[in-house]
Structure 1
C-alpha cells in the first residue's frame, strides 16, 4: 500500500474535524475525497501533507511512519486551490522553485522544467510572467510545479474550482491523462460530484470527519450505504418506512410497497434514484406509485419531474427525452421502477 491512514483525529477547539479516520491509497490510484462543507476533506489533505498536525493516529507511506516528518521531507507534493504562484517569478521560476531549494544543478533543473511544461501543454512559456497568464494557464503552472519533483503521491485541493465550466471539464480529462502518464497516485478534494465520479478510480465520501463510504464511482453511486451518501451524491429519493416481514418495504408517505433485496427488519430507509423511475400508465403492484406532477424542469438530456404522492412524499423523477413529451404540471401519473433499483440504507 502506498499510503495507510489509521485512526487519524484532528480537533480545532471543541470541533472534531477528523474522527478516527482510516483510509488506504494504492500506488497509481486516483482517489477523490467528496463531502459537504466541514466534512474534513481539506483538513485530511493538509494533515497528509504535513501542514496540519494530527492529534492522534498514524500515517504510513510505503510502510514508513511519516506522521512527524516535516512537509518538505515527505515523499509527496500538494497543489493548492489558490495555486499560490510567486508573482515575481516567471513560469519557469515558479516551476523550478522546489528543485532549486533541493540544490539541483541548473542544467538538470532546466531539463526537468522543460519536460514538465511540455507535459502540461505549456511549451515555450518558461520565461513568461505569471501575471500574463489566463486562469487555466495558471492552473497548469501550479500543476507543473507540483509534478516537477516527480512525487509518488500528489495532493490536489479543489484544483479545478477556479475554472469556468467548459475549461473545467476539459482540464479534468487532461488531469486524468496526466495522472496515468506520470503513474503517481492522486488524492483530489472536490465538492463537485460529477467531477468526482468522472475522474476517480475510487470515491471516498466524508461526513463530520468520518469516512462513511468508499469504492469505485459507479458502486458508490448505485449502492449508497447511508441516507447522507444517497442524498448528497446525486440527490436520490430517500424513502422512510418499515420492513413488512415478507421481503418488502412499506412506505406510507409514498403509498407503496417497495421490494428491496434485503432481509426484513434490517433497514428503515431506502434510496431510489430519479433516473430509475419511469412514468408508466397502467402499471400496478409493488414498485409502482401514483402521484401528481407539481413541477418540472428541462435539463437538456431529460426533464426533472417533481411528483407528489398521496401520502406526502415528493419524488424526483427523471423523464427521458425518448419517452416523449413530459406530462405537464397537475397531471396525475403512475410511476414504476425495477426492484433492483431500490437500495436499502444503513443509517
Structure 2
C-alpha cells in the first residue's frame, strides 16, 4: 500500500495551469526526488501535499485518508523549507522543541525527543546556541531535527541543500540520505539539481509543464529516458531525428548515417555522450558509425567533452575518458561509433 497517493491533481494560478492532472504514489520509507525546471510544478505539488495551497481538482491521500480540507498543522507530515525558517530569537533546543510544545507534549518527553533528534543530526552540545551563531550546514541540520522530532512518516523537503556550497552540499546530501534510512520516514524532496536527485533518491519523478513525464529508479530514467525532455534534462544526451526504415533502423541525414537500436526506431532517438566511442577518421563502417570533425575540446577532469560536427551537419557531444588516452585535437577527423543498446527511442 502507498503511503502517499496523489490522484488527478490540478492547480491553476490566474489561468496558468501549474499542475495538470498529476498522479503519483510514494511508498513507506521511500526517498523520492521531484525534479524539473522552473515552473514545472514540483514546488506547487509539495505545497499542495503540505496543505499550504488548495487543489482545484484531484485528491491527496495519506495512509488512505483524504487530506482535502485538512489544514497544514493537522496533517500528519512535516515540511522543511528552503530558507530553513528558524526562529532567530530561540535557541537550537527551543527551535527543535517548538512543535512539540504547541502539541502539549510533556516537558520530560520534549527533552528526551529533542535530545534524540539533535543526536541524529550530530548537534548534541549545540542546544543553547542561537541561529546567528551557526554555520549554514548547522542551520540546515537544526531545521531537519525540528522536522523529524515529531516523528512524521512523511517529510517534505523544498530544495534543502540549495543554500550550501558545493562541497558541503555533497556531504550534507549523504547525511540526509543516512538520516532518512535511520528514521524510516518517507522523504519527498524537490530539487532542480539532477546530480543531487540521482545520488540521493530511490526514485526520481520528472515534471514538465505541470505533468509527470517519467518516474523510476535513477539509472532507469538516465539510461532509458522516455521523452526528449527527460533525455535533455538528465545529462549530456544527443538528440537525433530521422526517417524510420522498414527494418527498424532510422536514416538520419543530420548524422550522415543510419541508426540501429535494440528496438525499432520511430523517428526520434537519444545517445548519451559517454556511450560514444572515438576512433581515427575512416577506421570503422556500418550502422551506428559516422564521420565527423572535432570543433572543440573542453577538459573536465575525469574526461574531456568533444564537440564533433558530423558529415550531415549535426554537432554531437562526446565524453572522452582520460583512461582512453589523449583526446583528439581540434580539427581532427574522427569516426564515432556506439552500440545498438545505447540508442534509445524517445517520444518527441
TM superposition score category, shorter chain reference: over 0.9
In structure 1, the partner of 2:5 is 4
> In the alignment, what sits opposite 2:274?
275
2:331 and 2:176 mapped to 1: Cα distance? Answer: 46
Which 4+ stretches in 1 moved above 3 angstroms?
none
User: Deviation string for 1:37-74 (max 9, x for gaps)?
Assistant: 10001000000000011011001111111121111111
Mapped partners of 1:261, 1:68: distance in 2: 49
C-alpha deviation, 1:235, in angstroms: 2.8
- Which residue in 2 is equivalent to 1:42? 43
Instruction: Report how far residue 262 of structure 1 moved.
Output: 2.3
Work out whether 1:304 is the aligned partner of 2:305.
yes
TM-score normalised by L of structure 1: 0.98
Find the counterpart in structure 1 of residue 92 from structure 2. Answer: 91
Counterpart secondary structure, 2:22: strand
Gaps of 5+ in 2: none
User: Mapping of 1:316-335 within 5 angstroms?
Assistant: 316-335=317-336
1:217-244, CA deviations, whole angstroms, 9 ceiling, x for partnerless residues? 0000000000000001113111111211
Aligned-partner Cα distance in 1 for 2:114–2:148: 10
Q: Deviation of residue 179 (structure 1)?
A: 0.3
TM-score normalized by structure 2?
A: 0.98
Provide the residue aligned with 1:120 in structure 2: 121
- What stretches of structure 1 of length at least 5 have no aligned partner? none
SS of residue matched to 2:239: strand
1:269 deviation in Å?
Answer: 0.7
Q: Distance in 2 between matches of 1:315 and 1:331?
A: 14
2:27 aligns with: 26
In the other structure, the counterpart of 2:69 is 68
Alignment of 1:1-347 (within 5 A): 1-263=2-264, 267-281=266-280, 282-347=283-348
**Aligned 8 A contact 1:258 1:287 in 2:** yes
Identify if the C-alpha distance between structure 1 residues 235 and 67 changes in structure 2 by more than 3 Å, giving closer, same or farther.
farther
Give the match's secondary structure for 1:155: strand
Instruction: Measure, in 2, the Cα distance between the counterparts of 1:124 and 1:256.
Output: 65
SS in 2 for 1:280: strand
User: What is the distance in 1 between the residues matched to 2:279 and 2:338?
Assistant: 9
Kindly provide the CA deviation profile for residues 269-297 of structure 1, in whole angstroms up to 9, marking residues without a partner as x: 10000000010231111011111111111
Deviations 1:241-264 (A, max 9, x none): 121111211111011111112235
How far apart are the structure 2 equivalents of 1:292 and 1:103?
71
Q: 1-side partners of 2:35 and 2:159: how far apart?
A: 11
- SS of 1:82's equivalent in the other structure is coil
Secondary structure of the structure 1 residue equivalent to 2:290: strand
CA shift, 1:324, in A, is: 0.7
Q: CA deviation at 1:180?
A: 0.4
8 Å contact kept, 1:247–1:261: no
Following the alignment from structure 1 to structure 2, what is the Cα–Cα distance between the partners of residues 24 and 114?
33
